[in-house]
Amino acid sequence: MVGQNQRTDALEIETEAETEPETETDTSSPTLSKGEIFELLRNQRRRYVVHFLKQDGRPVELGDLAQQVAAWEYDTTPDRVTPEQRKRVYTTLQQTHLPKMDKAEILAFDSDRGVIESTERTRDISVYLEIVPGHEFAWRELYLSLGAVSCALVAALWLEIYPLTLLSELTWAGVIAVTVTVTAIVQIYHERNMRLGASEQPPELSYRSDD
């Protein structure tokens, strides 16, 4: 699980289906709201399931899914998951999580065969997690800090405080612009790796504490 000195600062849900207008011939189920999807995916174990399905895309047996989810939860490899760990995950997936996700059509769960498949809704949902280690700023806090520093710099230049006046106002404006641009580029790269299914491991595990 996520280390104690970390927090999931944001869970951002996007879905292409929400932007598609309904037609009279559309016989699909009603589109889930972002709030409904958020409630379903607040649970880490369900996010692990979505991450697995978005990675592979093929039908998976419940036993194999439980094995991988247990490996992520207990920070180990699938072949080192104990029978007790696997059973614990298997049972809650079978009895609780998968039926709820199947009802919402985030996935398709055949309880008789014990097979889970992705759906169109699985592919449409894009989930971004902003996980913030204890010693780091959330992105919004970082941008707020950059804004505060920029305002302080403008005030200092207006008051002609030395040694800031050694550089021209245009130079300082360029420094601010470059800093904000580089920060935005880093954020975009970071967000791509923090979406479910974007990498081999779930986003939470990329920021697991070493403690």
Model confidence at 174: pLDDT above 50:
yes
The confidence score (pLDDT) of residue 125 equals: 74
Contact 131, 203 (CB under 8 A): yes
Instruction: Put residue 75 in one of left, alpha, beta given phi > 0 → left and psi -120 to 50 → alpha.
Output: left
3-state secondary structure 56-89: HCCCEEHHHHHHHHHHHHCCCCHHHCCHHHHHHH
The stretch 167-189 carries a mean pLDDT of: 88
Put simply, whether the predicted model's pTM sits higher than 0.75 gets the answer: no
The confidence score (pLDDT) of residue 93 equals: 96
Query: Residue 12 corresponds to which tokens in the numbers above?
Result: 């951002």
Q: How many residues does the chain have?
A: 211
Model confidence at 6: pLDDT above 90:
no
- DSSP secondary structure, 2-43, as one string: --TTEEEEEEEEEEGGGGSPP-TT--SPPPPPHHHHHHHHTS
- Angle at the Cα of 191 from the Cα atoms of 76 and 9, rounded to 5 degrees: 75
- Angle at the Cα of 149 from the Cα atoms of 146 and 153, rounded to 5 degrees: 135
How far is it, in rounded angstroms, from Cα 72 to Cα 75?
5
The confidence score (pLDDT) of residue 55 equals: 82
The confidence score (pLDDT) of residue 209 equals: 44
**Cβ atoms within 10 Å of 17's Cβ, excluding its own:** 13
The stretch 163-171 carries a mean pLDDT of: 90
**Cβ atoms within 10 Å of 13's Cβ, excluding its own:** 18
Q: pLDDT tens for residues 70-121?
A: 999 998 999 999 999 999 999 999 999 999 999 988 899 999 999 999 888 8
The 3-state DSSP composition of the chain as helix, strand, coil percent (nearest 5) reads 55, 15, 30
- From the number of C-beta atoms within 10 Å of its C-beta (0-12, 13-18, 19+), residue 91 rates as exposed
Range with the lowest mean pLDDT among 12-21, 46-55, 145-154, 170-179? Answer: 12-21
Band the pLDDT of 21: cuts 50, 70, 90: very low
- How confident is the prediction for the chain on average, in pLDDT? 78
The confidence score (pLDDT) of residue 67 equals: 95
Instruction: Put residue 21 in one of left, alpha, beta given phi > 0 → left and psi -120 to 50 → alpha.
Output: beta
